[in-house]
Amino acid sequence: MAVEQLSTLIKMAWGEGAVWTVYVVDDDGLPVDITSATMRFVGKLRYADTDTDAVFVKTVGAGITIVDGPGGEARLALDAADTAKLPPSRFSRLYYDVRTTISARTSQVAFGTLVVRATAGRTAP
């Protein structure tokens, strides 16, 4: 499986949330049915961090929404509280990936860097 057009570099501001749409496709670019898939969207400060130490872990029903299962479309969401966990006075670089499990087969469908920039304000919206 592959992901269609999810940038490997995502930028956002501290204390803000965001939503992205991801399309899971096969090697031929055809949609993969994710209706019964499990998905995880994980962001970590260091590659070596365990999922327990992740800044955020999103799953289907808790930050990930299957929008069109047969069409391979899912929506990934971060809340303002997710980025507000980071220090507001500095630039933070997270490493993220999105993994999908269908019929006991797990595939990494997206990965990259999430940059959370510092803000002058110290109170999350």
Count up the domains in the chain and report the number: 1
Confidence of residue 7 (pLDDT cuts 50, 70, 90): low
Q: Which whole number is the average pLDDT over 89-106?
A: 90
In a domain, 73, yes or no: yes
Confidence of residue 5 (pLDDT cuts 50, 70, 90): very low
Residue pLDDT, tens place only, 50-78 = 989 999 999 999 999 999 999 999 999 99
89-114 core/surface letters (b: 16 or more CB in 10 A; e: else): eeebebbbebbbebeeeebebbeeeb
In a domain, 71, yes or no: yes
> Does residue 90 have a pLDDT over 80?
no
Confidence of residue 4 (pLDDT cuts 50, 70, 90): very low
With tokens 């969207």, the residue in question is 41
Question: Which structural domain range is residue 23 located in?
Answer: 2-117
More reliable by pLDDT, 10 or 124: 10
In a domain, 122, yes or no: no
In a domain, 69, yes or no: yes
In a domain, 123, yes or no: no
Q: Which whole number is the average pLDDT over 69-89?
A: 90
What pLDDT sits at residue 103? 92
In a domain, 33, yes or no: yes
In a domain, 124, yes or no: no
Residue pLDDT, tens place only, 9-39 = 888 888 889 999 999 998 888 999 999 999 9
What is the rounded distance in angstroms from the CA atom of residue 49 to the CA atom of residue 30?
33
Question: In the chain, what percentage of residues exceed pLDDT 70?
Answer: 89
In a domain, 60, yes or no: yes
Beta bridge partners of residue 73, listed in sequence order: 23, 68
Residue 109: give its domain's CATH number.
Answer: 2.60.40.10
For 70, how many CA atoms within 13 A lie in the half-sphere containing its CB? 0
